[in-house]
Every structure is written in C-alpha cells, then in structure tokens.
Structure 1
Amino acid sequence: MGVSDPLAELNRLQERDLELDQIREDQSRIPEELAQARLHLRQLEIHLGDLQEQLREVRMAYHKADLELQDLKSKREKAKAAQAQATGAKEQTQYGEQIRQLSGLIEDLEGNNKDIVGQIMPLLEQIEKLEEQLIQVKAQVDEARPRLEALETANQQRVDALEADYQSKKADRDQLAATIPPAIVKEYESIRRARKGTGLARMTKASSGYRCTACNVQLPMHVAQQVHQASKVVRCPSCGRILWKGE
C-alpha cells in the first residue's frame, strides 16, 4: 500500500473527523436556558399582540356606542324642542312616544342607577382592564428582551470559540490526511458521507470468526484473510465500510 499501514493513519483521521463532527453538533445545539428564554419572549410578544388587538376592538366598540349615544341624545333634544313647539294633542303624543323610545335606547347604552347596566360602562371597564394588562405585559417584555439578548450573546461567544477550535483541529486533520494515499482518503470520505459519520471499521475476533465492529455482521473467512494480509483496501460486504485489522 505504499506505507506500512495507511489504515492505522486513516483510523486516526477518522477519530479527528468524529471529533470535528462533535464540535459541529455542539455548535448547533441550543442551550436549554436560551431555548426557554426565546420561547418565553415569543409567548409574551404573542400575548401582547393579542391584548393590543382586543383593546383596539373594544375601543372601536366603545367609540361606536358613544357616537350612537350622542346621536340618540341629539334626536331626543330635537324631539323635546319639537314637542314644546307642538300645538295639537296628537303631535304632543307623537313626540312624547318618540322621546320615550329614544330614552329607552339611550338607557340601553348608558344604563341607569338601578337595574340597567348599559353597554358603555362595561366597555370602559374592559378598556381599563386591558390597558392595565398591557402595561404589565410590556414590562415583562422589557425585562425578558435584555435577558434573552445576553443569553444570545453568550451563546454566540460559545459558538465562536467552538469554531476557532474546529478550524484549528481541521487544519491538523488536513495535514494528517495529506500523509495518507489520496485514493484511500477519497474512498473513506465517500463512505463516511454515505454512512453519516464513519468510513472505517475495525475488524474484531469473535468466538465464531471475525466481525465488523460497525455493523456487527460476521465476515466471510476469505474477507477476514484479505484484511489481515493488508495488501489492498477491503470493504465490509454488509455495511460497505473499509475494514481494518487494528494495531
């Protein structure tokens, strides 16, 4: 194979590759505290948005009711003025009925001090309650946002430190790869991509013969013999990884 045992070097290369894989995995892992802080702020922002929408709708309902109330009061005042000007009993009665109906509608909106609550007072109370809730939730958002930003900064520093470690170890890894025959490295890397991690597997002796440590399948005797001879690259008939007899 050109050097005494390039597969031993390939095994060391794989150890470095697996270490680099772990660094990448660590980089992508979101700390639980950060994940919870992101979720907490998102929930607060959604709650804040819901409250703002509710407040907008209640204010619209209040303004609509208030405009209707002012319109009814204006009509009642005109009816009262018209009744005062009326000369006949029929007209007096008609305006009186109109005033009675308008007063009933006004009472439905405005309420009274006895048995009718009306529509406007509950809307004002709801507006006041929603405004208080908004103040509280905004304060919670204002508290949660800088805390999340601090956690995001700390996590970015963690990721950056891992990246520096990764690049340093990647350079060492590439130097090691350069000492191994390129055809073997290329084959190993192709298998590693397909197998999501490992391209080389140690062959181990079992009670009934030899096994591939990656897939745990028993190897045919002629395959085991070829691995021991180390005259060429031999792959596991089951998982396709390059087999190595070990040191």
Structure 2
Amino acid sequence: MVNVNIAGALADLYTLQEHDQELDRIKEQQEQLPPELVEAREKWAALSEQLAQLKERYLALQREYQQNDLEIKDLVAKRKQAEDEQLQSSSIREQTQYENRIQQLSTRIDELTELTMPILEEMERLAEQIKELELQASELKPELDSLEAANAERVAALEEEYQAKLVKRQEMAGSIPASLLREYETIRRARRGVGVARVKVQGGFYLCEACSVQLPTHVAQRVYQSQQVVRCPGCGRLLWRGPENEG
C-alpha cells in the first residue's frame, strides 16, 4: 500500500468510526427508558408485589377459617348427637357422662369460635386493602400501557434510523482495506467504541487523542510518514495524523 493510501484509509476509517459511534448512540437511546415509564413500571411492580402478598395472606387465612369452620360444624353435630342421646339415657351415670361430653364439646366450640373471629376480621381488612390496591392498579394500567406503546414507537423509529445508517456504514466500510477494518473493529470492541485516534500536538508534544499518552518522537514520525499503520503504545489504538496534516 502506498503512502497516500494508508493516510486515506485511516481518514476513511476515522470517518467510519464517527458513523459507528452514531450507531452506538442510537442503540444506547433505544435502551434508555423514559423516566416516566421507569416510574410507572416501578409503581406497577410494587403494586403487583403488594397485591400478591396480600392475596397470599388472605388465602392462608381463608384456609384456616374454613378448617376451623368445618371443625366447629363437626363439633356442633357431635354435641347435638350427645344431647339427643342424653335425653334417651336412663341412668344418672349416663346422663352425667353425656353432660361432661357436651361440656367438652361446647368448650372446644367456644375456643374455636374465639380463634375464628380475629381471622374473619383480618380477612375483611385484607379484602379492603386488596380492593384499594386493585383500584390503584386499574387506574395505573392505562397510563402504563400508553407509556409502553409510546416507548415501543420510539424504539421502532430509532431502529429504522439505525438500519438506514447501518446500510450507509456498510457502504463506507467497503472502501477500507479488509485487514485494516478487521483490526479496527477488534480494537474498537476492546476499547469502548474507539479503535482509531488522531494525534494531537499540545505544548510541543505529540499525544494520543484517545488516551492522552505522550507519543515517543519516533512513533509520531512514523504516524506522520504514513508508510505503515501505527498503534498507540499506551492504548493500542490505531493512530491517524489528522485532517490538518493530510494532503
């Protein structure tokens, strides 16, 4: 490759990099959610989690209530049977036995009833909380859906722009030697999107634009001579002498 071709290829590569960075910015914009959508999602997630916890607690209490209720009904039936049998008993001993049995059953019924009342009260309280949260969720859902739809449109528009620029990028890349392009792309992936950097002069010193390392004189000379591709000794990026030194 003759000198002017190396210089020209690096100039084209730098222009390509600017295009690549624009593509990177579009992708970043696609991933960046609008603050109002982030806030709405967080509210929805918090409401959903709180609702799930309350409903889980309600179902647990409901199971406990139903179990107690079944036991109470069973005890009431047994007490009724004992009362009926007591009426049919013929001896004082049997009547006393039934009386003790009826008292035991009544005591247990009272205990379960006392345990069940707080469960019902808590279930009622939870039902009100669930109703309120479901109302909040129903009010938030249309807003969230609208924000999601707007964001989807935004992302789709950016994707359309990205694809158009990607086609242009492929056209630009076609004018750059394949080996140089591959080297640039490898460095760019490893170096935060910058694979080629200009050389800048500051205070009489030559510096790498990307990492600001001071370039040794012989390295700067090789860059300006454009007889070969030179990499920065500090960051490993390809070095270009810049447009002001072209021609």
TM-score of the superposition, structure 2-length normalised?
0.89
The SS at the match of 2:163 is helix
Any unmatched runs of 5+ in structure 2? Answer: none
Q: Which residue of 2 aligns with 1:38?
A: 41
Q: In proportion to residue count, which structure has more helix?
A: 2
1:34-183 alignment to 2 at 5 Å? 34-110=37-113, 118-183=114-179
Query: What is the count of residue pairs matched by the alignment?
Result: 240
3-state DSSP of counterpart to 2:200? strand
Aligned CA RMSD, in angstroms, stands at: 1.9
Match of 1:20 in 2: 23
Matched residue type, 1:144: L
Aligned equivalents of 1:243, 1:227: Cα separation in 2: 7
Residues 99-150 of structure 1: per-residue CA shift (max 9 Å, x gap): 222221122223xxxxxxx122222222222222222222222222222221
Q: Tell me the CA shift for residue 223 of structure 1.
A: 0.9
Q: d(CA) in 2 for partners of 1:184 and 1:24? A: 25
Aligned equivalents of 1:151, 1:144: Cα separation in 2 = 11
* TM superposition shift of 1:202: 1.0
Amino acid at match of 1:211: L
Residue in 2 that maps onto 1:115: none
Residue 226 (structure 2) aligned to one of 209, 215, 230: 230
The aligned amino acid for 2:102 is I
Judging changes above 3 Å, is the alpha-carbon distance between structure 1 residues 218 and 93 closer, same or farther for their aligned structure 2 residues? Answer: same
User: How far apart, in 2, do the equivalents of 1:64 and 1:177 lie?
Assistant: 74
Where 1:205 maps in the other structure, the secondary structure is strand
Query: SS at 1:119's partner residue?
Result: helix
- Pick closer, same or farther for the CA change 1:80–1:180 going to 2, 3 Å: closer
Q: What SS does the aligned partner of 1:210 have?
A: strand
Kindly state the Cα deviation for residue 96 of structure 1 after the two structures are TM-superposed: 1.7
- After superposition, the C-alpha distances for 1:45-104 in whole angstroms (9 at most, x for unaligned) are 222222222222211111111111112222222222222222222222222222222221
Task: Report the AA paired with residue 70 of structure 2.
Answer: L
Deviates more, 1:18-27 or 1:175-184: 175-184
Structure ranking higher on relative contact order (CA contacts 8 Å, 6+ apart): 2
Partner of 1:215: 211
Q: How many percent identity over aligned positions?
A: 45
**TM-score, length-scaled by structure 1:** 0.89
Q: For residue 90 of structure 2, give the secondary structure of its aligned residue in structure 1.
A: coil
The gaps in structure 1 that reach 5 residues or longer are 111-117
Match of 2:240 among 238, 244, 247: 244
Distance between the aligned counterparts of 1:150 and 1:34, measured in 2?
Answer: 9
